[in-house]
Amino acid sequence: MTTKCENCALRRKDTFESMSAEEIKFMERFKVGEMVVEAGTTILMEGSNSPQLFTVLHGMALRYKILLNGKRQVLNLIFPGDFLGLQAGIMGEMSHSVEATTKLTLCVFDRSEFWSFFKERPDRAFSLTWLAALDEHFMGEAVSTVGQRTAVQAVSWALVRVFLRAQGLGLVKNGAMRFPFVQQDLADALGLSLVHTNKTLASLRKRQLAHWSDGTLRVPDLEALSQVAMLEDMSPPKRPIM
Amino acid sequence: MTTKCENCALRRKDTFESMSAEEIKFMERFKVGEMVVEAGTTILMEGSNSPQLFTVLHGMALRYKILLNGKRQVLNLIFPGDFLGLQAGIMGEMSHSVEATTKLTLCVFDRSEFWSFFKERPDRAFSLTWLAALDEHFMGEAVSTVGQRTAVQAVSWALVRVFLRAQGLGLVKNGAMRFPFVQQDLADALGLSLVHTNKTLASLRKRQLAHWSDGTLRVPDLEALSQVAMLEDMSPPKRPIM
DNA sequence: CGGATCATTGAAGTCCCTCAAGTCCTGTGG
DNA sequence: CCACAGGACTTGAGGGACTTCAATGATCCG
């Protein structure tokens, strides 16, 4: 029933580093199964200590925190290939929640085996650290965006990042991609109000820079949008998959 | 001349997990020396690929990014015990710069030995990943702050975090600590203007919540300041030192 | 057909930014 | 010894980007 790592289509996407046959075999040992959850399901909960780790095989999700005043900060949009639960695996407790935006297929790993990654497979441990460092890198960009960019720049930044990510996964067809989030999600990610996010999107639409409606995102000229976003390097590095 | 890891005072501070004698000996092998730099020196440069990794022994510093429009986002304040250069070590390139705010004493490690961490010492590799995860955790809080908190809440949050950090390092005496940064640093960390940061600090001063002047920070009632900052958990976890 | 969710648009208000000026302090050089 | 420049901090005033409030459509669904 479950996909074998060997046959996993994800591995072959551009974004990911290739793995040796032997590495794949090793990973297979960790996989305890697959899990499918409906849109809206909370997969990991802030403060909890999940016994499981996941890799997203299909679908999209949302990382977020809820502040004491009830406000929500979206930290990250989750795409196929993303690894979930590292924080719980390392520090014993999640500092954010993860919620499925679409129906989600997850590859499930057992956390109790986590240690053997480090003991037996230094290369896998290195990949794990790489992923943590990559997330930190991204969060640094996010802070800079929320702190220093204007609304137009921030929204452009987010859309470019999303689009690049999707390109690396082969999810862009004819300059368009599935983008199943709602405007409130983007607003909460950028520290903007829903109303202003809406107006900003409208402005980008009018300027022919980005069209997002009905769950579909189209970017006619990625270069131009990046310019507006004040983004220089447009190439995300190849990343390991876990 | 250089301190032996065995005798390093840092290790004994509350914030840090204890290390076995054997672990210490292993770390000693990596240490290639010590380095002292003057205030204002750039230690690591965005985009560069430093051959060295550092642990701060004494002094304070600043992690920051410069955007295309010249604006600066301060990502983090650096305290003794902080590990610098992980990104370069893992991903091969720094995504931010690090600048000394005071005279700085650094413990220098050779990056070329980085791999043996993973190969020979899974426990050290685990610590490394822990540190990366901790940074990510912190950055998540930072995004939430810049995105969702008001100026008063944000400044309070920053000061509480700083104060707690200093407490764990035994740097707080009589409710006061050395805080050698300038208001512009704090402003750039929180995405606020210098002027507004100044006025916010004045307001906190008037409300008897925090007094920061002449490089000294006093917090008469940490609990009260945390309340204003909307911070619940006030205890940063013990962290490994590298 | 009501109820719910999401997108959209107008209007009013506010938090924060920018501009501007002035103080205090330190270091430097005539 | 004083004049002057530079850096950090402070304070007032005006403006703007974004928020909040409010109302309307559109779509989907039981």
pLDDT in tens, B111-132: 888 888 889 889 889 999 999 9
Print the SS3 string covering chain B.
Answer: CCCCHHHCCHHHCCCECCCCHHHHHHHHHHEEEEEEECCCCEEECCCCCCCEEEEEEECCEEEEEECCCCCEEEEEEECCCCEECHHHHHHCCCCCEEEECCCEEEEEEEHHHHHHHHHHCHHHHHHHHHHHHHHHHHHHHHHHHHHHCCHHHHHHHHHHHHHHHHHHCCCCECCEEECCCCHHHHHHHHCCCHHHHHHHHHHHHHCCCCEEECCEEECCCHHHHHHHHCCCCCCCCCECCC
Q: What's the pLDDT at B132?
A: 94
Domain of B53, CATH number, reads 2.60.120.10
Q: What's the pLDDT at B112?
A: 86
Whether A111 is in a domain gets the answer yes
Does residue B103 share a domain with residue B9? Answer: yes
**What residues have CB less than 8 Å from B29, skipping those under 6 apart?**
B113
Asked if A73 and B129 come within 8 Å (Cβ–Cβ), the reply is no
Mean pLDDT of chain B: 94
Whether A140 is in a domain gets the answer no
Identify, with chain letter, the residue nearest to nucleotide D19 (CA–C1'). A193
pLDDT category at B1 given cuts 50, 70, 90 is low
Whether B235 is in a domain gets the answer no
Does residue B167 share a domain with residue B87? Answer: no
> What is the mean pLDDT for each group of 10 consecutive residues in chain A (242 residues)?
82 92 88 94 94 95 97 98 93 94 95 86 91 95 98 98 96 97 98 98 98 97 96 80 84
Contacts of A143 in chain B (CB under 8 A): 73, 75, 139, 142-143, 146
Whether B128 is in a domain gets the answer no
**What residues have CB less than 8 Å from A33, skipping those under 6 apart?**
A2, A108
Does residue B20 share a domain with residue B72? Answer: yes
3-class secondary structure, A111: helix
Report the chain A residue with the minimal C-alpha distance to residue B95: A137
Contacts of A142 in chain B (CB under 8 A): 139, 143
Q: What's the pLDDT at A100?
A: 98
Q: Which one of B103, B121, B139 terminates a domain? A: B121
Residue A127 is encoded by which pair of tokens? Answer: 């990949």
Q: For chain B, what is the largest distance between any 2 Cα atoms, rounded to a whole number of angstroms?
A: 55
Sign of CA dihedral B132, B136, B142, B143: positive
Tell me the shortest Cα–Cα distance from B132 to chain A, in angstroms.
Answer: 6
Report the chain B residue with the minimal C-alpha distance to residue A188: B147
Does residue B105 share a domain with residue B17? Answer: yes
Contacts of B135 in chain A (CB under 8 A): 136
Q: What's the pLDDT at B235?
A: 73
Does residue A187 share a domain with residue A102? Answer: no
Nearest to A147 among B73, B95, B237 (CB): B73
Does residue A117 share a domain with residue A210? Answer: no
CA atoms of A173 and A186, how far apart (whole Å): 22
Does residue B158 share a domain with residue B102? Answer: no
HSE, CB side, 13 Å, CA atoms: give it for residue B120.
Answer: 11
CA atoms of B83 and B79, how far apart (whole Å): 9
Q: Which nucleotides of D are covered by protein (CB under 7 A)?
A: 8-13, 17-22
B32-68: pLDDT as tens digits: 999 999 999 999 999 999 889 999 999 999 999 999 9
Whether B18 is in a domain gets the answer yes
Q: Which one of A104, A121, A138 terminates a domain? A: A121
pTM: 0.95
Q: What's the pLDDT at A1?
A: 60
Contacts of A65 in chain B (CB under 8 A): 140-141, 144
The whole domain housing B221 covers 149-228
Whether B165 is in a domain gets the answer yes
Q: What's the pLDDT at B107?
A: 95
Does residue A113 share a domain with residue A20? Answer: yes
Does residue A216 share a domain with residue A117? Answer: no
Whether B79 is in a domain gets the answer yes
How many domains is chain A built from?
2
Does residue A115 share a domain with residue A13? Answer: yes
Which residue shows structure tokens 């590495």? A23
Domain of B183, CATH number, reads 1.10.10.10
Does residue A116 share a domain with residue A159? Answer: no
pLDDT at B175 over 90: yes
- Work out the percent of chain B whose per-residue pLDDT is above 90: 79
Nearest to A230 among B69, B115, B147 (CB): B69
Whether B189 is in a domain gets the answer yes
